[in-house]
Amino acid sequence: MDVDLGALRELGFPADTLNATDLERWIGEQFKFASSPVYVLEQRLGGPCGVLAAVQGQVLAQLLFEHADGGEMVLRNVESDEAEQALVEALAHILWNVRKSETDPAMVCVGNVADDDVHALECATLEETKTSVSEHLASEYMAAGGIMLFMYSLMLTRTPDQIRDDMDDASLGLTGQFGHCTQELMNLLLSGVAASQVHDGTVDMGGGMVLRGVPARPTIGYLSHLEALRYCEVGSFLKKPYLPIWVVGSDSHYTVLFGTDSTINEESPRQAALARAKRAFKEQDREENGFISVENLGEVLRALNLNLSDKQLSNLVGEVEVPGSQLVLWQDFWRKIKPIILPPSDWNCSSCTYLNDKNTDRCGMCDTRRKDDMLNDDGRDEDNDDPRTLDLTHVNGLISTRQGERQGPTITEFKLTILSKDLQAPSTHGLGNPIEETLHTRWPGSVFLWPNDEPASING
């Protein structure tokens, strides 16, 4: 299939944003694994780090959670052919995930980027996509121009029209100043949708203004230093992906964070219900004031699939409205709605495993308090007694040459201990350590143990 490269470049690499040098860096970049450790993708040139980081996350997902169960031991023993197969799987899964619908094919672009000699292979199944990528991996995707071929494949699979429909501003491109990956491109890689925002779902600001965020929980997540600086707030979908793998964004670079414990992001049914309630409330609380208008209460209930009669709704309004204000506070809403969306169930004691009746809050055998029920009236988790330590690894694929010596990629293994689930880390206004500030947006009450007391770098 012939490819309209002009249309793809207009969307992916706008001429009014990128200069010739920026574009050359993209054209010259490829998917290349380091000699050690062999599972790390190198970044030689500025610009494509966002794509490399997202693909790196998917490579780790394949190696750690799809075909193996040995955690970090698997990574220490990865052979180059295994890493390349994981790359095939990663690229294919990303392309398959960005399709407009389940009946649409994935498109795998092949050819010579430098000569603009590119055509596309139409793949009707995920297996066909893997086969097409595999057949051209070594000769094209792992050679100069490989990143561009993947970008073309990404845009052609989603289609330029659909990508522009995904965005808040259809006049923008997928790369910005200096050839940096935009949030739209990052969201496309992670969630399959080129949304412009990092919050959960779509927020109608009124007056025809709609802010489009991530539509659902992705496999790989995203954390941003910009949130630590109070420029944005990353939603729970990106903060708590299905796998414990995140792309970490700074103001100029993208790196990867991962853990090998698949339970890191697990939520109890009650925590999941709380997250749903917060999302529904927040859709109507557009300015995040902590309250909504009474007239919007019905929309919140509908978003939670709670179909109340007019009488029930009237009674609820009478219980949650701040008298005479026509306003509903989050705390009041949650206190009244919690028993409806969190029906009690029998529970096993975390200390002695005794099965207790659903209507009891303490174990009948050892008097231990029920831990799965510790969501108080403002939605905070009161179970803060037991610190938890996570073993995490940070990957910065950037390589450079300094004083004649090649440096990078950099792999940093460290420990993060969660002391309190509800402690909110204050902003240091950019004066603290960037990676610690960023990690505090996901685990606010945490401390870190770095090798040689040297935190990893999230900057280029």
Catalytic residue flag (residue 253): yes
CA–CA gap between residue 66 and residue 140 (Å, rounded):
25
CA–CA gap between residue 62 and residue 43 (Å, rounded):
20
SS3 percent helix, strand, coil of the chain, rounded to 5, is: 40, 20, 40
Query: What is the per-residue DSSP string for 213-263?
Result: -B-S--SSEEEEHHHHTTS----HHHHS-SSSEEEEE-SS-EEEEEES-TT
DSSP, res 43: B
Catalytic residue flag (residue 363): no
Distance between alpha carbon 248 and the CA centroid of its chain, in Å? Answer: 9
Which residues, other chains included, contact 188 with Cβ-Cβ below 8 Å and sequence gap of 6+?
A: 98, 154, 158, 163, 166, 174, 194
Phi, psi of 274 (to 5 degrees): -60, -45
Q: Are 411 and 380 in contact (CB under 8 A)?
A: no
User: Which residue among 93, 225, 253, 440 is the active-site one?
Assistant: 253
**CB-count burial class (<10 Å; 0-12, 13-18, 19+) for 317:** middle
Tokens standing for residue 309: 């009669």
User: Which residue among 49, 109, 123, 363 is the active-site one?
Assistant: 49
CA–CA gap between residue 217 and residue 236 (Å, rounded):
8
In the block, tokens 């996901």 appear at: 442
Catalytic residues: 49, 253
